Amino acid sequence: MDAHLTLTADRFPLVRDIGWNQTEELYTHPDRTLDYHVFLYVASGSMQVEEEGVPFLIQAKQYLFLKKGLHHWGRHETAAGTQWYWIHFNMENSEDHENTPYKEKAPLPELALYYPDHYRYRLTLPKHGTAFPGMENRLNALMKMPQKVRSHQMTRTSLSVYELLLDLHQASTLERKSTGAEEISERIIAFLGSHSCEPFSASHLAAALNLNYSYLSATFKRVTGQTIIEAHTRLRLQHAVALMRSSSLNISDISDRLGYQNPFYFSRVFKKMYGESPSSYLKQFYRPY
């Protein structure tokens, strides 16, 4: 069984409880199998835990995720004076959720409009590592949240925990980020964004980045999960939607503004992306006269 936890963009973790502890003497982590996930963060000292026979030593400012249903325990090695926080939570695993096809990549952050399928992606949380600066402040704030008497309090707490987990994932991604493929993909996105009002040109992109287009295409697909042409089309149509919102241009004018030589072709591309024709989509907006 995979010991890593995954989040999905369309469902948030449901918090069971949040707490803090300090041991005054040598401590042994309980021997147990839980029906919920555990996030451990050691503020000072160190904690020893094993999960399914795999040992972990969580040093100060480090964290560990323990997955529900997996047997974990500890030896008598957790240092006296160790302080730690925990969050116990569940992730919804309905039949519908299990059968939903989730992508392994998030949509491009440059997109301004999101449809339900954009949220159907997953991300794997780092099992063990060093937390980002300010983790203790975030955890202390989370511990105070249930003490406030407000409506939907546990939902608010769960959403705050979800945000913390997303930030933890992002921080770990930045730590792993290389100066190669990810940087090239960012440069490609920047180029596409600045040329979203014109037809795509593979030769212009290759010349701008001084790299072979086949290499650029394969690298971008591996990093983002999308082709360069798909990304360009999304950015181009996003520009079309922005014009619909902010101008009085008709569909033919918008098509021409974006460099489409044929408004009927523009309409076909738009409908394939958004599921309806641009003229139908245009009716959603209050427009200037």
State yes or no: pLDDT of 37 exceeds 90: yes
Q: What is the mean pLDDT of residues 54-74?
A: 96
Can you count the helices (H) and strands (E) in the chain?
10, 11
The answer to whether 263 touches 255, Cβ cutoff 8 Å, is yes
Lowest-pLDDT choice from 55-59, 244-248, 263-267: 244-248
Residue 234: band (very low, low, confident or very high) from pLDDT cuts 50, 70, 90: confident
**Which pLDDT belongs to residue 32?**
96
State yes or no: pLDDT of 288 exceeds 60: no
Tell me the pLDDT tens digit for each residue of 265-280.
Answer: 999 999 988 888 998 8
Comparing 287 with 169, the larger pLDDT belongs to 169
Question: Residue 197, Cβ neighbours under 10 Å: how many?
Answer: 13
**Which pLDDT belongs to residue 94?**
43
CA dist 173 and 164 (Å) reads: 14
Comparing 282 with 167, the larger pLDDT belongs to 167
Comparing 148 with 48, the larger pLDDT belongs to 48
Q: φ, ψ for residue 47 (rounded to 5)?
A: -130, 135
Tokens of 65: 């995720």
**Which pLDDT belongs to residue 95?**
40
Tell me the pLDDT tens digit for each residue of 137-180.
Answer: 999 999 988 777 678 898 999 999 999 999 999 888 766 655 57
**Which pLDDT belongs to residue 179?**
53
Q: Helices (DSSP H) in the chain: which residue ranges?
A: 95-99, 135-144, 153-176, 181-194, 202-209, 213-224, 228-246, 251-257, 263-274, 278-282
Share the mean pLDDT of the chain.
Answer: 87
Q: Helices (DSSP H) in 78-226: which residue ranges?
A: 95-99, 135-144, 153-176, 181-194, 202-209, 213-224
